[in-house]
């Protein structure tokens, strides 16, 4: 069987292809000279399947899409507390190159704008790091996220550094407030080099999927980042990733995203997907025109909007039946709060008449700690009511099956 996704993605690109509105970024000479026409899209699923269409082999500089990943590396390497002391997490509602500093602390308001990203970059590899070592650590992380060795386009770096007055001004200001220690020149050189990392849409889709999947790169299986880091990064992306267009983006598209001035656009759908597009012409906020359009179409067609999550249909309790001396409760799907609540309320409403109660977990595919704790507490109470309790849990989804009273729930082979 041929999977119809690449065909669907191609057809989606055809729907936006004729739109030549917007313009390539002109404040970086190397980008001003870039071909404006390439168009590409890629998706990476939780199982590591990558689907793509269009100019999916063309490399372009990552630009501001480096920001969420550099933020992730800083969180991973130096911890949340230190990072939050340096940069806030409120949307600025302003353009990417505005000097948006918190009135009281003078911290940049978030890591998705240039001021914030320059400050974050300083945290990586320690304050005493050379620019080269700092960038190399980032390149190493970005390569693990992409699953291949990424390189830096020094021509883009040189070209941007030759016209970097704005970023130098931001760095001088950060330095004057003691937010960064490096010279403004070094701070900007490091930041601009990280923006010059070359990627394709496929790289970005896989990197985004890694954020969406709690830091586990779905193609290589490499656990690159901690789940909490990924949660933090995507939260900030959701509110600030699209700059002054962030609110409209969240309402219309509903996918945490980050754009870059070379024309890349990255989206992450928590637990599900990484998505990336490439098309160099930008709108007034510096976001890719056709890229954003492709995101809008995919979000609508595929039902990806975060806020339109379907209510989990059906219940976590597949069946509850008495067989001889045992009542067998079959569970299914994901056991988070909602699933575990369904288990507890179903059991509470059911009159248990048998001596044995067996909970069959074989159709459950995932749990979280809250869901596990609720199910285990339910089992403890069933036992307290005088029943013998056992679980069928060959994949160990309930963890060590320890109850509040220190005992373990027995396992059962058969129902």
Residues near ligand GLN, by CB under 6 A: 63-64, 96-97, 114, 160, 167, 192, 195, 260-261, 286
Count of CB atoms situated within 10 Å of the CB of 177:
13
By Cβ distance, which residue is nearest to ligand GLN? 64
Per DSSP, 267 falls in state E
- Adjacent-strand bridge partners of 360: 330, 392
Closest approach, Cβ 253 to ligand GLN, in A, equals 18
Per DSSP, 265 falls in state E
Q: What DSSP string runs through 77-120?
A: HH-HHHHHHH---S---S-TTS--B-TTT--BS-TTSHHHHHHH
Query: Residue 167 or residue 234: which is nearer to ligand GLN going by CB?
Result: 167
Query: Residue 86 or residue 114: which is nearer to ligand GLN going by CB?
Result: 114
Closest approach, Cβ 244 to ligand GLN, in A, equals 12
Closest approach, Cβ 22 to ligand GLN, in A, equals 14
Closest approach, Cβ 393 to ligand GLN, in A, equals 48
Query: Residue 285 or residue 354: which is nearer to ligand GLN going by CB?
Result: 285
Query: Residue 185 or residue 226: which is nearer to ligand GLN going by CB?
Result: 185
Closest approach, Cβ 349 to ligand GLN, in A, equals 55
In three-state secondary structure terms, 387 is coil
- Adjacent-strand bridge partners of 41: 53, 277
Per DSSP, 22 falls in state S
Query: Residue 40 or residue 192: which is nearer to ligand GLN going by CB?
Result: 192
Query: Residue 261 or residue 397: which is nearer to ligand GLN going by CB?
Result: 261
Closest approach, Cβ 99 to ligand GLN, in A, equals 13
Q: What whole-number distance in Å separates Cα of residue 20 and Cα of residue 187?
A: 36
Closest approach, Cβ 103 to ligand GLN, in A, equals 24
Query: Residue 226 or residue 244: which is nearer to ligand GLN going by CB?
Result: 244
Closest CA to 297 of 255, 240, 261: 255
Give me the residue label for tokens 């709690």.
214
Query: Residue 174 or residue 364: which is nearer to ligand GLN going by CB?
Result: 174
In three-state secondary structure terms, 309 is coil
Tokens in use for 33? 């000279």
Closest approach, Cβ 63 to ligand GLN, in A, equals 3
Rg value, the chain, Cα: 25
Q: What whole-number distance in Å separates Cα of residue 13 and Cα of residue 15?
A: 5
Query: Residue 191 or residue 343: which is nearer to ligand GLN going by CB?
Result: 191
Q: What whole-number distance in Å separates Cα of residue 382 and Cα of residue 268?
A: 41
Q: What whole-number distance in Å separates Cα of residue 357 and Cα of residue 260?
A: 56
Tokens in use for 331? 């569970």
Closest approach, Cβ 343 to ligand GLN, in A, equals 47
Query: Residue 160 or residue 182: which is nearer to ligand GLN going by CB?
Result: 160
- Adjacent-strand bridge partners of 61: 198
Q: What whole-number distance in Å separates Cα of residue 348 and Cα of residue 210?
A: 39
Closest CA to 157 of 263, 30, 276: 30
Closest approach, Cβ 337 to ligand GLN, in A, equals 38
Element of type H or E holding 266: strand 264-269
């Amino acid at each position: 069987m041929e999977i119809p996704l690449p065909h669907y993605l191609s057809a989606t690109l055809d729907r936006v292809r004729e739109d030549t509105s917007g313009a390539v970024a002109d404040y970086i000479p190397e980008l001003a000279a870039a071909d404006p026409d390439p168009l590409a899209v890629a998706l990476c699923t939780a199982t590591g399947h990558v689907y793509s269409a269009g100019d999916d082999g063309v490399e372009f500089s990552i630009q501001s899409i480096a920001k969420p990943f550099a933020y992730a590396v800083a969180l991973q390497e130096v911890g949340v507390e230190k990072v939050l002391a340096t940069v806030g997490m409120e949307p600025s509602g302003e353009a990417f190159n505005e000097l948006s500093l918190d009135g009281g602390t003078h911290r940049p308001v978030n890591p998705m704008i240039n001021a914030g990203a320059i400050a974050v970059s300083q945290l990586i590899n320690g304050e005493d790091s050379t620019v080269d070592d700092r960038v190399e650590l980032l390149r190493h992380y970005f390569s693990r996220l992409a699953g291949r060795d990424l390189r830096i386009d020094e021509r883009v770096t040189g070209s941007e550094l030759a016209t970097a007055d704005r970023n130098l001004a931001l760095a001088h200001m950060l330095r004057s407030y003691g937010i960064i220690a490096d010279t403004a020149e070094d701070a900007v050189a490091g930041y601009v080099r990280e923006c010059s990392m070359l990627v394709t849409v496929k790289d970005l889709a896989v990197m985004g999927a890694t954020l969406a999947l709690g830091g586990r790169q779905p193609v290589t299986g490499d656990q690159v980042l901690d789940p909490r880091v990924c949660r933090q990064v995507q939260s900030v992306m959701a509110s600030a990733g699209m700059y002054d267009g962030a609110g409209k983006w969240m309402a219309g598209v509903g996918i945490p995203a980050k754009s870059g001035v070379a024309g890349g656009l990255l989206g992450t759908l928590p637990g599900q997907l990484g998505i990336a597009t490439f098309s160099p012409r930008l709108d007034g906020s510096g976001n890719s025109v056709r890229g954003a359009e492709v995101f809008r179409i995919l979000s609508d067609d595929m039902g990806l909007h975060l806020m339109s999550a379907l209510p989990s249909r059906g219940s976590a309790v597949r069946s509850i039946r008495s067989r001889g001396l045992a009542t067998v409760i079959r569970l299914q799907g994901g056991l988070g709060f909602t699933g575990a609540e369904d288990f507890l309320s179903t059991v509470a409403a059911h009159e248990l008449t048998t001596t044995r109660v067996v909970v069959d977990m074989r159709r459950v595919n995932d749990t979280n700690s809250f869901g596990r704790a609720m199910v285990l507490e339910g089992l403890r109470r069933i036992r307290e009511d005088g029943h013998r309790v056992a679980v069928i849990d060959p994949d160990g989804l309930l963890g060590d099956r320890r109850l509040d009273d220190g005992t373990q729930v027995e396992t059962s082979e058969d129902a």
